[in-house]
Amino acid sequence: MTIPSSPFTFATRPSALARWQTDYVAQLLRQAHPSLDIRIEVIVTKGDRILDKPLPVIGGKGLFTAELERALHEGRVDAAVHSLKDLPVEDAPGLAIGLTPPRADVRDVLICPAGHTLDDLPAGAVVGTSSPRRQAQLLARRPDLVVKSIRGNVDTRIRKAREGQYDAIVLAAAGVTRLGLEDAITQYLPLDVMLPAPAQGVLGVQCRADDQRALSLLAAVEDPDARASARAERAFLAGLGGGCSIPVAAYAHPGEEGLHLTGLVASPDGRRTLRVEATGDEPVALGRALAEEALARGAAALMSAQ
């Protein structure tokens, strides 16, 4: 294709991880389109400004995305790079996911300065996470742990653990490894212990839905498997009617018989969990069908339990 001479501008949040993710996508685009003039604009979001409250308490959709989406609507930028799990399951009006690049490690990791694995942590150990999904699965495995909220970017959370504010913390492997902080990882948590958030490890690059130039440029580095898996997982979440404030997990991957999707719904205290699985060819239909099965088996009562 003919590359337009006008610059292509990405919006990014100011955190080190957000910058890394945007730089990574920009580099993929440069490799596909060497003559493209790529620029990056840093935008601070509500989620970046409010650091003293747990994420579910702050509430509201688009906590880390609204300001970036506004810049897209206003035409100040051409694309915005997000962790796809941070985006609401419904596309923002007028915007689309123009690119899902190859997926990173989907697992969560335990970081424990004393070197304990999840099963070896002492009774009453304090584990930091702001995710209801992680809390429920931690307590399902270890009901004797104390789970406390933690905020801050990846390196801030690791620092808090090293300072002794928490005995251990749980983070997404993708974020830790993207920042080159693998040495801090004590344990990669198995998927049968800690199923990931829908679309964990997947980047979602937003652009205007009618911006044919952006859609065309971004399509050159698309990963169809990453998109299909993320669509199935997010359809499962959408079918349950929730966002990041409910204890729901999902993981899809291509298999010999089609796309295999595993979903999990839990009570916040981890005492009750429901795991469902299915295989199908169409990602959204697969996710919706599995959500319907989960609801038929009592998922709504689990999610609303206190």
Tokens 């971004």 sit at which residue?
218
**Which alpha helices (H) appear in 3-153, and where do they start and end?**
16-32, 46-49, 55-58, 66-73, 132-141
Give the active site residue among 78, 86, 108, 211.
86
What are the start-end ranges of the E strands in the chain? 8-12, 38-42, 79-83, 95-99, 108-111, 126-128, 146-148, 168-172, 187-188, 203-208, 248-255, 258-266, 273-280
Question: What are the tokens at 56?
Answer: 């579910």
- Residue corresponding to tokens 């955190």: 15
Return the amino acid letter for 146.
V
Distance CA 127, CA 167 (A): 6
Q: Is 86 a catalytic residue?
A: yes
Map residue 80 onto helix, strand or coil: strand
DSSP three-state, residue 231: helix
Give the 3-state secondary structure of residue 22: helix
Six token digits for residue 7: 């610059």
Residue found by looking up tokens 């997990």 in the block: 249
DSSP code per residue over 123-177: TT-EEE---HHHHHHHHHH-TTSEEE---S-HHHHHHHHHTTS-SEEEEEHHHHH
Active site amino acids? 86
